[in-house]
Structure 1
Amino acid sequence: MPRRLCPIALLLVALSAQAAPLPGAMVGTTFGGTDDDVANPERGMYVWAADNLAAWTQAQADAQFAAGYRLVYAPVRLDRYADAALPAALLAEVSGGFAIARRAGLKVIPRFIYNYPAGETGYQAAQDAPLDRVLSHIDQLKPVLAANADVIAYLQAGFVGAWGEWHTSSNELTAPAARARIRDALLGALPANRFLQLRYPPYLMAWPATARIGVHNDCFLASTTDVGTYSEDASTRRRERDYVAALANIAPFGAETCNPADEMAPTPRADCGDILREGRQFGLTYLNDSYYRKLFHDRWQAQGCMAQVKRSMGYRFKLLTLRHSAVVAAGGTGQLALTVRNRGWARAFNPRAVQLVLRERAGGAVLRIALASVDPRAWLPERTSKAEVRFEVPGGTRGGVYDVLLALPDGAASLAGDARYSVRPANADDADKAQGWDVALGAFRTGTTLRIR
């Protein structure tokens, strides 16, 4: 599989096709970085919303946000409806769970499941639903997913087999034809700007290439095969792992570690060197913070790499330099040049804007100007990206001196004005340069000014 596929190529073409710089007086600055763990949307450690999304409370969600989490895993239990249509009350409960996330400033990784076996070896008797019932449930959920796509980070495929992991189906849902029909139904129900994630690489490899399906590995690092994630055959396993590593360039890879209890003499890769190497290799975007701590998290903490793991997951944008026009007339056009380094293991996957934010020094008025041709999804991991763009100051804007800030708000209109969903760059506050994070605006003060005349 190629390392760069169409969506990335298109984004890079968009960045390289910017207009030529305009002449005129310019101001500029540089930015210092930070090694702090910066909590940002759609990446990092996650915790469970609850054992069932319907049981999640606002108080729990608010506490999770306050603890620094920005992602929650949300199982939705459908056990009682394996032979029945989903009632309106259940659909309302799911919508209510998404509303809790929205009020708390969180995003959700949902998974719809018909069972949750106790223990690592009790999955053989788990029951799911017949194919027609699964498809009808997905169809019922389609409007709920569409209405709440703003707070859905990624959707795990679910529905099939024990824990919704797409193995040990009691209704033969892992047969090729059934798998394909469920895949198509899920992609059809999920808004086009959101990603689906699947548990098993061989299923993905058997399908035509798509840029909308990533992998969630529920036994990451746990054994040679990651407890059945990959083949027992070494050469096949290498191909599968290479495929997943390449896929992470275009679709999100998330994981949890696990207890390899049902494997004979497993060989977990539990040291700091393992997580740092494979986190980077597979573009790890998120990881369960609660499981399996005894074998993995506690060891990373003891060996001293946990802080690095936390700050490396997903994207991590560091502003490097900024130059922009010093003076622009109201109704006129200015020029801006920005360089950014993505220090994370992955890119950003969901739509997100870049804004030039101007705050009037005299009256405090705030003006947001979208830099529409700049797409943060093109800021690739461990790469420096450059953008040179023109921006227009709206006619009628009051003249004066404006402080310049940069913002990366959520791409959804419903969340764009919520500063909690804006990306905070991995830059240090610097009082000498008048640089720092503005919590209220969800924007970074650059320390430069723009005069509007």
Structure 2
Amino acid sequence: MKNQLILLFFIVLLISCSSNNEPDKEVVDDTVSEITYQASTDVISNPERGFMHSWSVASEGAPINLVTLQSLKNENVTIILRLYNLASFKNSDLSAAQLALISTDFQNLRTAGIKCILRFAYNENQNDTDAPLNIIQRHLDQLKPLFTDNADIIAFVQAGFIGAWGEWYYTTNGLTTLANKKDVVDKLLEVLPKEVKIQLRTPLYKQQVFNYSTAIDASVGYGTSDIARVGFHNDCFLASVDDYGTYQNVTAEKSYISKEAFYVPTGGETCPPSGIPTASCATAGGEMALLKWTYLNLDYYGPVLQVWRTNSCFKDFQKRLGYRIALKSSTLKKEMNANGSFELNITISNTGYAPVYNTKKTFLIFRSTANATIYKKELSFDIRKVLPGVDYELKESVSTAGIPAGSYDLLLKIEDASASLSDRSEYAIQLANKDAWETTTGLNKLSHKLIIN
């Protein structure tokens, strides 16, 4: 008996020691789903970004053709630059016909599901005259009602009005003094709704107008103060060392734009290179990433665009101009009790060159698997803060009050902040994930089913 007890003691000891030397076993929580999302490789059409077309129209000219606008989806184009030449009104009010032209353009843009970048100028020849300041101010007063009524489909406004092509050069009315430039900027900011951002031709113009040189930060950038509403457009991108005078101190001003463009948009067009080779794919991509380019003219300058097509980077630029936001992973509960809080835990990436600049509304959608009834819960999440190259952790408690017990598919909707466009999928943001987008609803699938008990 004694020997049996001793043997039993050693067996227990051996088992204990063996157990202590085993590695810790992973505890699997079967109450949650851990999901890894697959990124899409497609060119995705999203609002207020990408390659654009640029169309100029003479005073009292023809409106944009609706069929042409509707065909842009075949090119993955969602924005156009509309340049209004006001040459007939250098010394008078805008006519009823001119205002009607602009109004019709807005109507056609809205019908087609397109947004526009606006610019106004008084000539398209450096040897021609522009308009005096008082006329510019009067025209902006006339345009104000149109801006107010159509702010929802205005992506951005290039400052324009001064000089040939509205590029703030070659003025015949002395408008390039700091006082006059400031007057035009102030008037633009006054007549445009607060949510609309404008763009100046060079970084130095903004620094001069606002009398500062250090880039704004998030505490200012996400607000609607005047300085937070002004970005940049460059109409000679990659054309020379200083982009035909766009920069005075190239390194410092590019660094400034790079920081400022977390909050305000940068875009424009290329033009014939001078003194440097036509921009390679690597050079162009590096500059777009540094300066956070959000849109680029598809119509000019052709030889530069052709280099990108020939060298197979054009499609990559189609994907990355502006924002390209995707789900990376999520950890989501499988079940919960009614009238509780659902914990949203999602990692989001942005592989585009720029962030989203205009405010959006984001909703977590609960869609019944039984009858497709939808329940929308607005999130406090601000998609503008999903910055290029930085993973964003979206963690938010979402009340399920008012949602009955049942089984639900979860989806995200990122819609236009304007009520007039909120139900239109063309103006919703499509996440760059494979098999996630619903074209007709504008919803992005989270690939998760939730049971509410």
Q: TM-score range by the shorter chain?
A: 0.7 to 0.9
Which of the numbers 400, 408, 428 marks the counterpart of 1:393? 400
* 1:414 paired to 2:420: yes
1:381 Cα deviation from its structure 2 partner = 0.7
- Gap change, CA 1:413 and 1:419, over 3 Å in 2: same
- Alpha-carbon distance between aligned partners in 2 of 1:38 and 1:224, rounded to the nearest angstrom: 32
8 Å CA contact 1:215, 1:254 repeated in 2: yes
**CA distance in 2: counterparts of 1:422 and 1:181, whole angstroms:** 36
Which residue of 343, 346, 353 maps to 2:351? 343
Q: Secondary structure at the match of 2:302?
A: coil
> Which residue of 2 is the match for residue 447 of structure 1?
447
Q: Which residue of structure 1 aligns with residue 340 of structure 2?
A: 332
Native 8 Å contact 1:54 1:76 kept in 2: no
Contact 1:54 1:97 in 2 (8 A): no
TM-score (norm 1): 0.86
Partner of residue 391, structure 2: 384
More displaced 10-residue stretch of structure 1: 101-110 or 358-367: 358-367
Aligned residue among 48, 60, 65 for 2:54: 48
Instruction: Give SS of 2:332's match.
Output: strand
8 Å CA contact 2:128, 2:164 repeated in 1? yes
Q: Is 1:160 the counterpart of 2:162 in the alignment?
A: yes
Query: Bigger relative contact order, structure 1 or 2, given CA contacts below 8 A and separation 6+?
Result: 1
Look up the match of 2:270. Answer: 257
Aligned counterparts of 2:135 and 2:169: Cα–Cα separation in 1: 18
Structure exhibiting the larger radius of gyration computed from Cα positions: 2
2:326 to 302, 308, 318: 318
How far residue 349 of structure 1 moved from its aligned partner, in angstroms, is: 0.3
Contact 1:357/1:367 (<8 A) preserved: yes
Cα shift at 1:269: 4.7
Amino acid at match of 2:351: R
Report the equivalent of 1:39. 45
Query: Equivalents in 2 of 1:315, 1:394: separation in Å?
Result: 33
Deviation at 1:113?
Answer: 1.3
Question: What's the counterpart of residue 10 of structure 2?
Answer: none
User: Do the aligned partners of 2:386 and 2:392 also contact (CA within 8 Å) in 1?
Assistant: yes
Q: Which residue of 1 aligns with 2:184?
A: 182
Counterpart residue identity of residue 271, structure 2: C
Residues in 1 aligned to 2:293 and 2:182: alpha-carbon distance in whole angstroms = 26
Q: Distance in 1 between matches of 2:331 and 2:146?
A: 43
Q: Given the superposition, is the C-alpha separation of residues 357 and 240 from structure 1 closer, same or farther in structure 2, using an over 3 Å criterion?
A: same
Summarize deviations over 1:385-429 as a string: whole Å, max 9, x none.
Answer: 00211112242x343211111121111111111011111111112
Contact 1:342 1:381 (8 Å CA) reproduced:
yes
Q: Check the 8 A contact 1:220/1:256 in 2, yes or no.
A: yes
TM-score with structure 2 setting the length? 0.86
Q: Which runs of 5+ in 2 are unaligned?
A: 1-28, 213-226
User: Where do 5+ consecutive residues of structure 1 fail to align?
Assistant: 1-22, 118-122, 430-435
Paired with 2:38 and 2:144, the residues of 1 have a C-alpha distance of 45
Determine the structure 2 residue equivalent to 1:170.
172
Quick one: distance in 2 between partners of 1:159 and 1:207? Answer: 16
Contact persistence 1:352–1:375 (CA under 8 A)? yes
**C-alpha separation in 2, matches of 1:63 and 1:190:** 29
Kept after mapping to 1: 8 A contact 2:43/2:76: no
The aligned counterpart of 2:33 is 27
Q: Report SS of the residue matched to 1:207.
A: helix
CA contact (8 A) 1:339 1:385 kept: yes
**How many angstroms does 1:86 deviate by?**
1.6
Alignment check: 8 A CA contact 2:178 2:209 kept: no
More deviation in 280-289 or 196-205? 196-205
| Offset of residue 97 of structure 1 | 1.0
Q: For 2:408, what is the secondary structure of its paired residue?
A: strand
1:90 paired to 2:98: yes
- 1:111-141 Cα offsets, whole Å, 9 max, x none, are 0111123xxxxx2x12111101101111111
* 1:304 Cα deviation from its structure 2 partner: 2.0
| Amino acid across the alignment from 1:128 | D
Pair 1:424 & 2:430 matched: yes
Q: What does residue range 38-187 of structure 1 map to in structure 2 within 5 Å?
A: 38-49=44-55, 51=57, 54-117=62-125, 123=126, 125-187=127-189
The structural deviation recorded for 1:49 is: 4.5
* Alpha-carbon distance between aligned partners in 1 of 2:297 and 2:337, rounded to the nearest angstrom: 50
1:17 aligns with none
8 A contact 1:113–1:163 mirrored in 2? yes
| Secondary structure in structure 1 of the residue aligned to 2:228 | coil
Matched, 1:279 2:288: yes
Q: 1:86, 1:140 within 8 Å by CA — same for their partners in 2? A: yes
1:183-230 Cα offsets, whole Å, 9 max, x none, are: 100111121122110112221121325221111000000112212212
Q: Quote the offset at 1:330 in angstroms.
A: 4.7
- 1:54 shift after superposition: 4.6
2:236–2:269 CA contact under 8 A, matched in 1: yes
Report deviation, 1:144. Answer: 1.1
Residues 43 and 70 in structure 1, CA contact (< 8 A), matched pair in contact too: yes
Q: Structure 2 CA distance, aligned partners of 1:73 and 1:24?
A: 52
Distance between the aligned counterparts of 2:277 and 2:144, measured in 1? 39
Matched, 1:241 2:254: yes
Residues 1:407 and 1:49: Cα distance change in structure 2 (over 3 Å) = farther
Aligned pairs, number: 408
Q: In the aligned structure 2, how far is the partner of 1:176 from the partner of 1:38?
A: 41
Conservation of the 8 A alpha-carbon contact between 2:181 and 2:209: no
Answer yes or no: is the 8 Å Cα contact 2:63–2:102 preserved in 1.
no
User: Contact conserved, 2:325 with 2:351, CA < 8 A, in 1?
Assistant: yes
Q: What residue identity is the alignment partner of 2:381?
A: V
Q: Is the 8 A contact 2:85 2:123 kept in 1?
A: yes
Q: Secondary structure at the match of 2:361?
A: coil
